[in-house]
Amino acid sequence: MAKISINLATGSFQKEEIIVGIDLGTTNSLVAFINPDKDPQVINDAGKGILVPSVVYFNNQNEAIVGNEAKEFLTTDPANTIFSVKRLLGRSYKDVAEHKDIFSYKIIDDDSDALVKIQAGNRFYTPIELSAEILKELKARAEHALKTPVNRAVITVPAYFNDSQRQATRDAGKLAGLDVMRIVNEPTAASLAYGIGLDPTQQKTIAVYDLGGGTFDVSILQIQNGIFEVLATNGNTYLGGDDFDRSILNYWLEKNNLDVNVVAQDNILMQTLRLQAEAAKKALSTQNLYNEQVGEIWCTIDKQTFEQLIAVKVEETITACKNALKDAGLTASDIDEVILVGGSTRTPFVKQAVENFFGKKPQDNINPDEVVALGAAIQADVLAGNRSDILLLDVTPLSLGIETMGGLMDVIIARNSKVPTKAGRQYTTSIDGQVNMKISVYQGERDLVKENRKLAEFDLKGIPAMPAGLPKVDINFLLNADGILTVQAIELRSGVKQEIEITPSYGLSDDTVEKMLMDSITHAKSDVAQRMLIEARSEGEQLVYTAEGFIKKHAEHLTETEVAETVAHIEALKNALSSLEKDIILKKADELNEFTRPFAERVMDAAIYTAMKGKKIE
Ligand code: ADP
Ligand code: MG
């Protein structure tokens, strides 16, 4: 079915709606599309530049400012300037606690497995909302430059992203008003940009070396019949070009006899020097000497010194390449092509190290900080059906998932996943001694299950009585090539198991699918807002439940005042729960958490932590 749409800006007919490709990066993000000459092209909106720094600043009115403009507030208002949000996407505080020093803004520490939240001004944001701000900016730039509405996108993620990080990326797209056609691995997109994998008869093994601003990863991919399989990934999510900048900065401080700790007091000077160091690094990609002055400070460095400074870091990336090959069961000579991705691969020393290790010249004709977005645009073009030469594999038209607390849809197999496919996730109980768990399976794109299509329901019975949060229930979805879905639930501690079979496509017409998709786009914003409120309330209710239980059980470890104050905090949270304000609930929950943490540590009771683990099913 061909769609015809009218370009509102030009009044002309447009045959196909454009689907853009988006590289949502840790340091920089950008958007690309397939131009009328059928070539992928990055979008540069009215000379604003191609790269949008992945930085979000919130001003006094809680308005979000994104990109270069936001970056300027890194020194003047660091508490409200959010960078590197990709590191937090789909992660819990526990996941990132070890590295919390690199963040200059407040990450809410509720010491649980719940997803992190960030405070800026008097509001709380999830990494999904923050990433959505970046995506909105990209969408707006694309619409402005292309003079047409942009509603559909392919978004890339690192190959090592887990299910929860991918889902978070999808949600961010949705919140930005984008229908996310597919989540594609960054190394896959980079290969597509080089035309690798477009020919279904081609069979190749490739290595993609990606050194960005703050992260490094290497992926070994096998391409066969147009299918990309990730054989291995390796890397370090806290190693990148920023480290190179820091080495130069430290070198200058030393050469100028300046004490790091003293200079560090002066935020503005520090930032100026850091930017100067980055400029020096970039300059040394094409010249042998950099020589500037910042006030009294000499900022001089030659290429050879720079290379000595970064040698250890670069060697670390090569070790990761070795490990990736080993995990894939391959040697360097098995690799047909090496592809360079990420701005930091512009450094000739890095390029040379990669070439030496793999024993062949890496592909570097395409701009390394654009290659992923360009590949995403190609993937989008394939999905739009504009490339008849490429086979499109069978995909599920609608997402499949289960109901979690508060009536939320938790997607297990996302729409557009290739079949056959399997996916699973772990859940837990919300009430002490809960022995049954109702599992309801739904299909659809809306955030609330009541708006989706119910496929089946069954009870997992005979879970041994345990405190809330302790049972580990694995729910696995297996969708076979014939479109039959097997849902299996198993409680891991006891081995209790239950399984059913469903045919999700039964009674589902194309019109229904289309209507369900349209509805999800129309209601995307209100859906996500509702979901966040429900999540905040579920978390808050659970906290009240555990805190009350804790006080009852451990009153003897607390003084009377401590008990009274905890009760007051609980009451404040209860009041907040009856409001419909997500931010107030999160704030009160945070306060209760902060207040009770020392007691929990005192009592050394693991239960209060474990009770808050994982998603709960009522
Ligand atoms: P990410 O994928 O993490 O968002 P990018 O691929 O955009 O990051 O890479 C950003 C990094 O690339 C920064 O550290 C930047 O300083 C570095 N970079 C950009 N241009 C050059 C250059 N010409 N030489 C060396 N490094 C560069
Ligand atoms: Mg990148």
Q: Which of 22, 23, 27 to mutate to test the pocket of ligand 1 (most atoms within 8 A of CB)?
A: 27
Residues 4-26, mean pLDDT to the nearest whole number: 69
State whether the beta carbon of 346 lies less than 6 angstroms from ligand 1: yes
pLDDT reported for residue 9: 46
Looking at the domain assignment, is residue 361 inside a domain? yes
Per the prediction, the chain carries an average pLDDT of: 89
204: helix, strand or coil: strand
Q: If pLDDT is split at 50, 70 and 90, which confidence band does 305 have? A: very high
Residue 75 predicted with pLDDT over 90: no
CA of 284 to the centre of ligand 1 (A): 13
pLDDT reported for residue 527: 87
| Same domain, yes or no: 74 and 149 | yes
Looking at the domain assignment, is residue 270 inside a domain? yes
Residue 611 predicted with pLDDT over 70: no
Q: If pLDDT is split at 50, 70 and 90, which confidence band does 572 have? A: very high
Annotation says 316 is catalytic: no
A 10 A CB-CB count for 500 gives 15
**Closest atom, ligand 1, to C-alpha of 285:** 24
Range from 248-252, 313-317, 383-387, 545-549 carrying the lowest mean pLDDT: 383-387
Q: Please report the DSSP string for 457-508 in residue order.
A: EEEE--PPP--TT---EEEEEEE-TTS-EEEEEEETTT--EEEEEE-TTTT-
Residue 556 predicted with pLDDT over 90: no
Residues 538-551, mean pLDDT to the nearest whole number: 89
Answer yes or no: are the C-beta atoms of 305 and 289 closer than 8 Å.
Answer: no
Rounded Cα distance between 367 and 190, Å, is 11
CA atoms within 13 A on the CB side of 46: 7
Range from 3-17, 240-254, 382-396, 398-412 carrying the lowest mean pLDDT: 3-17
Residue 391 predicted with pLDDT over 70: no
**Which listed residue (113, 129, 179, 210) is catalytic?**
210
pLDDT reported for residue 120: 92
State whether the beta carbon of 370 lies less than 6 angstroms from ligand 1: no
Specify the CATH number for the domain of residue 589.
1.20.1270.10
Specify the CATH number for the domain of residue 408.
2.60.34.10
pLDDT reported for residue 98: 83
Residues 384-401, mean pLDDT to the nearest whole number: 74
40: helix, strand or coil: strand
State whether the beta carbon of 367 lies less than 6 angstroms from ligand 1: no
State whether the beta carbon of 267 lies less than 6 angstroms from ligand 1: no
The runs of H, that is alpha helices, within 60-118 are 68-71, 73-76, 93-96
State whether the beta carbon of 347 lies less than 6 angstroms from ligand 1: yes
Looking at the domain assignment, is residue 618 inside a domain? no
Q: If pLDDT is split at 50, 70 and 90, which confidence band does 88 have? A: very high
pLDDT reported for residue 10: 46
Identify which ligand lies nearest to the alpha carbon of 369.
1
| Same domain, yes or no: 287 and 225 | no
State whether the beta carbon of 241 lies less than 6 angstroms from ligand 1: yes
DSSP annotation of 584: H
Highest mean pLDDT range out of 156-165, 228-237, 263-272, 568-577? 568-577
Degrees, nearest 5: CA angle 226-138-339 = 40
| Same domain, yes or no: 560 and 444 | no
- Domain with 552, as residue range(s), is 525-612
Q: Amino acid letter at 372?
A: V
| Same domain, yes or no: 116 and 154 | yes
| Same domain, yes or no: 233 and 248 | no
Residues 141-162, mean pLDDT to the nearest whole number: 93
Q: If pLDDT is split at 50, 70 and 90, which confidence band does 1 have? A: very low
| Same domain, yes or no: 317 and 459 | no
Of 475, 388, 49, nearest to 198 by C-alpha is: 388
CA of 210 to the centre of ligand 2 (A): 7
| Same domain, yes or no: 471 and 486 | yes
Specify the CATH number for the domain of residue 285.
3.90.640.10
Q: Which of 22, 23, 28, 347 to mutate to test the pocket of ligand 1 (most atoms within 8 A of CB)?
A: 28
Answer yes or no: are the C-beta atoms of 563 and 551 closer than 8 Å.
Answer: yes
| Same domain, yes or no: 462 and 536 | no
| Same domain, yes or no: 373 and 483 | no
First to last CA, the chain: 42
Work out how many domains the chain is built from and give that number.
Answer: 4
Looking at the domain assignment, is residue 254 inside a domain? yes
Question: Which residue owns the Cα nearest ligand 1 atom 24?
Answer: 282
CA of 76 to the centre of ligand 1 (A): 23
Annotation says 539 is catalytic: no
Q: Which of 344, 346, 350, 372 to mutate to test the pocket of ligand 1 (most atoms within 8 A of CB)?
A: 344
Question: Which residue owns the Cα nearest ligand 1 atom 10?
Answer: 213
- Among residues 522, 544, 559, the one where a domain terminates is 522
pLDDT reported for residue 487: 95
CA of 14 to the centre of ligand 2 (A): 32
Residue 113 predicted with pLDDT over 70: no
Looking at the domain assignment, is residue 369 inside a domain? yes
Specify the CATH number for the domain of residue 103.
3.30.420.40
Residues 380-409, mean pLDDT to the nearest whole number: 80
pLDDT reported for residue 16: 65
Instruction: Give percent of the chain above pLDDT 90.
Output: 59
pLDDT reported for residue 613: 47
| Same domain, yes or no: 129 and 277 | no
Q: If pLDDT is split at 50, 70 and 90, which confidence band does 198 have? A: confident
pLDDT reported for residue 420: 82
Annotation says 23 is catalytic: yes
CA of 187 to the centre of ligand 2 (A): 10
Residues 412-428, mean pLDDT to the nearest whole number: 87
- Among residues 279, 308, 337, the one where a domain terminates is 308
Neighbour-count burial for 551-565, b at 16+ CB within 10 Å, e otherwise: beebeeebeeebeee
User: What are phi and psi for residue 400, nearest 5 degrees?
Assistant: -120, 135
Q: If pLDDT is split at 50, 70 and 90, which confidence band does 15 have? A: low
Looking at the domain assignment, is residue 364 inside a domain? yes
Q: Amino acid letter at 176?
A: A
DSSP element (H, E) containing 349: helix 348-358
pTM: 0.78
CA of 214 to the centre of ligand 1 (A): 9
| Same domain, yes or no: 165 and 100 | yes
Residue 415 predicted with pLDDT over 70: yes
pLDDT reported for residue 8: 46
Range from 1-5, 259-263, 397-401 carrying the lowest mean pLDDT: 1-5
Answer yes or no: are the C-beta atoms of 62 and 207 closer than 8 Å.
Answer: no
pLDDT reported for residue 438: 93
| Same domain, yes or no: 297 and 366 | no
**Which listed residue (45, 71, 86, 351) is catalytic?**
86
Looking at the domain assignment, is residue 617 inside a domain? no
- Among residues 394, 422, 438, the one where a domain terminates is 394
Residues 326-355, mean pLDDT to the nearest whole number: 97
Looking at the domain assignment, is residue 56 inside a domain? yes
Question: Which residue owns the Cα nearest ligand 1 atom 23?
Answer: 282
Look at phi and psi of residue 433 and say left if phi exceeds 0, alpha if psi is from -120 to 50, else beta: left
CA of 324 to the centre of ligand 2 (A): 19
**Closest atom, ligand 1, to C-alpha of 342:** 6
Residues 591-618, mean pLDDT to the nearest whole number: 67
Q: What is the pLDDT of residues 477-511, one digit of tens each?
A: 998 877 789 999 999 989 999 999 888 877 777 78
Rounded Cα distance between 570 and 549, Å, is 11
Q: Quote the tokens at residue 522.
A: 């129309």
pLDDT reported for residue 616: 64
Annotation says 296 is catalytic: no
